[in-house]
């Protein structure tokens, strides 16, 4: 009997510990206030995104927000003119009221811009020779209504183009296969109005990299290999980029089934 008692106490303790962990991981409503770190004034219309649950909200006039979260979820805050901030939700944030999150203003430094105009002579034949030349070559394939840019004029460039066209499943599998969980979040992002509104106003890809847990170079590679133009990649807002990646991912899933 004496040998059994310690085992029983150990078992009860493990059960209680598991219950506590289960309660901590339960989804609750987190209430907090976002303030200016320099002035302590509340900040209105700050975008708050739960990166784990892929939901978003914004702060009201008093700087307060409410969002569904669990312990250890990661929240991402972004506001124009302030440094974005990412932090992990703790159990104390639910137990105690009055949680404040301070955002720091960005210091913008204007860099010197040197403008070097072309030295035009007025003679067309001479001026044309002085203009920079784009060394990227385009390849067209019979039966396809699009041309493909392969970069430098070399045998490898043609192989790259043909590989992108003839082996799209392998290409997309390399890009999307590394981040399956992040790619599955695409539909959730598109369904949340707050996230869509935020992405529609962004052009820097910072929020997208946090949501998808991808590097900017990964996003660019995906769009390049899904035949999006350089102009679109450079000028589209983050919502357009999200829609483009989503469309490309749907194509990948179809190809991957075959």
Domain that holds residue 228: 167-258
Among the three residues 88, 103, 118, which one is the final residue of a domain in this structure?
103
Q: Closest Cα to residue 60, out of 71, 74, 45?
A: 45
SS3 149: strand
- What is residue 182's predicted lDDT score, i.e. its pLDDT? 67
Q: Diameter of the chain by CA atoms?
A: 106
Number of domains in the chain: 2
Predicted TM-score (pTM) of the model is: 0.64
Strands 100-103 and 28-36 turn out to be parallel
Among the three residues 103, 133, 157, which one is the final residue of a domain in this structure?
103
State the CATH number of the domain containing residue 40.
2.60.40.1120
Residues 136 and 122: their CA atoms lie apart, in Å, by 28
Tokens in use for 184?
């599955």
Residues 74-90: pLDDT tens digits?
999 999 999 999 999 99
Tokens in use for 19?
């219950």
Residue 233 lies in a domain: yes
* Residue burial 220-254, b: 16+ Cβ < 10 Å; e: rest: bebbebbebeeeebeebebbbbbbbbeebbeebee
Among the three residues 64, 80, 103, which one is the final residue of a domain in this structure?
103
Residues 99-118: pLDDT tens digits?
999 999 987 444 455 555 55
Strands 28-36 and 55-58 turn out to be unpaired
Asked whether residue 55 carries a pLDDT value surpassing 60, the answer given is yes
Average pLDDT over residues 195-220: 89
Asked whether residue 218 carries a pLDDT value surpassing 90, the answer given is no
Could you tell me what percent of the chain has a pLDDT over 90? 38
Range with the poorest average pLDDT among 17-26, 40-49, 150-159, 189-198: 150-159
Asked whether residue 147 carries a pLDDT value surpassing 60, the answer given is no
15-24, 171-180, 193-202, 224-233: which is most confident: 193-202
Please provide the average confidence, as pLDDT, over all residues in the chain. Answer: 76
- What is residue 214's predicted lDDT score, i.e. its pLDDT? 81
- The string of DSSP letters for 221-255 reads HHHHHTT--HHHHHH--HHHHHHHHHHHHHHHHHH
């Amino acid at each position: 009997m004496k040998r059994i008692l310690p085992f029983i106490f150990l078992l009860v303790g493990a059960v209680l510990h598991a219950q506590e962990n289960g309660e901590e991981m339960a989804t609750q409503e987190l209430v907090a206030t976002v303030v200016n770190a320099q002035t302590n004034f509340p900040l209105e219309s700050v975008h708050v995104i739960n990166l784990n649950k892929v939901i978003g909200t914004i702060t009201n006039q008093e700087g307060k927000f409410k969002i569904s979260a669990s312990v250890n979820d990661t929240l991402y805050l972004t506001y124009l003119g302030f440094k974005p901030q990412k932090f992990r939700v703790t159990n104390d944030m639910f137990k105690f009221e009055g949680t404040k999150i301070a955002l720091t203003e960005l210091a913008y430094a204007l860099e010197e811009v040197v403008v070097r105009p072309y030295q035009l002579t007025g003679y067309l034949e001479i001026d044309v020779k002085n203009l920079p030349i784009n060394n990227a070559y385009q390849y067209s394939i019979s039966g396809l209504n699009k041309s493909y840019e392969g970069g430098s004029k070399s045998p490898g460039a043609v192989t790259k183009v043909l590989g992108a066209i003839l082996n799209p499943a392998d290409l997309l599998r390399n890009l999307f296969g590394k981040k399956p969980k992040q790619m599955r979040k695409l539909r959730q992002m598109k369904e949340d109005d707050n996230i869509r509104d935020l992405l529609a106003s962004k052009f820097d890809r910072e929020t997208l990299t946090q949501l998808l847990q991808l590097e900017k170079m990964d996003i660019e590679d995906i769009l390049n290999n899904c035949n999006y133009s350089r102009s679109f990649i450079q000028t589209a807002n983050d919502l357009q980029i999200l829609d483009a990646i989503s469309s490309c991912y749907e194509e990948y899933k179809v190809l991957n089934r075959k």
